[in-house]
Amino acid sequence: MKKVLILEDEENIRSFVVINLKRAGYQAIEAGTGQEALDRLQENPDIGVAILDIMLPDMDGFEVCRRIRAVSNQLGIIMLTARTQEMDKVTGLMTGADDYVTKPFSPAELTARIDALYRRISGDGSSFNELLTQGPFVMNTRNHTLEKAGNRIRLTQVEYAIMKLFMQNPGRALSREDILSAVWGKDYDSELKIVDVNIRRLRIKIEDDTANPVYITTVWGFGYKWGA
Ligand code: CA
């Protein structure tokens, strides 16, 4: 059974999420503190997606996210944010999360996000070894790895999916809607800002100078273009 970790200290919200995860066919692993979440993840390495609340008694959800990312890029991470939280601050702090959901959220919305992340983790089903080469970049689509000039670049699943989309469409201007639909899924109802957050993070990992990006360039008022 597909496992999802839910880190939330407010019991009523947590049980609400747990009920809906079970209804959607997931096994829910619960945690009420950041430390508990890290312990549960260590005990259950097969957890595919983690939902992290931000306001917690022992450490904030961003810190939990950072600690998870220090050991795993494979796990899908969704942050639970409050509507009162300043969105720019949240996205700036989203150093390793794949997505965020704003409270109050509908169960359908949350499970759609989890389904989308799980689909990506399971891969596209192709098992043959395919290498995509663009400039100094070599992507191995079987191993889900990316190298720049022979050096491995560690990517989250979402960052990998965006890179793959770019490398398969060199020179083509992709709108933020194109990227959202290709990476997060067609029926995905999310804010376009999540695309920018992930692009900003990708640039830090792949560009020589993030202030003057040459690989992922901005197409003003439209989206982004791959130009390696
Ligand atoms: Ca909380």
Tell me, in angstroms, the distance from the centre of ligand 1 to residue 113's CA.
20
**Lowest-pLDDT range, 15-29, 144-158, 176-190?**
176-190
Question: 84-134, pLDDT tens digit by residue?
Answer: 666 666 665 667 888 888 888 888 889 988 988 887 766 544 444 578 888
CA of 85 to the centre of ligand 1 (A): 12
C-alpha dist (Å) from residue 131 to 44, 160, 192: 32, 14, 29
Query: What sign results for the dihedral spanned by CA atoms 17, 177, 222, 228?
Result: positive
pLDDT of residue 102: 86
Q: Tokens 């989250």 appear where?
A: 156
Residue 56 Cα to ligand 1 midpoint, Å, equals 5
Question: Residue length, the chain?
Answer: 228
Ligand 1 centroid, distance to 154 Cα (angstroms) = 30
Residues 138-174 pLDDT 10s: 998 877 889 999 899 999 989 999 999 999 899 999 9
What span, in angstroms and rounded, lies between the C-alpha atoms of 99 and 189?
A: 12
87 CA distance to ligand 1 centroid (A)? 17
Looking at per-residue pLDDT, the higher value among 94 and 63 belongs to 63
Query: pTM of the full predicted structure?
Result: 0.67
Mean pLDDT of 34-57: 95
DSSP-derived secondary structure letter, 150: T
pLDDT at 74 over 90: no
Q: Are 180 and 188 in contact (CB under 8 A)?
A: yes
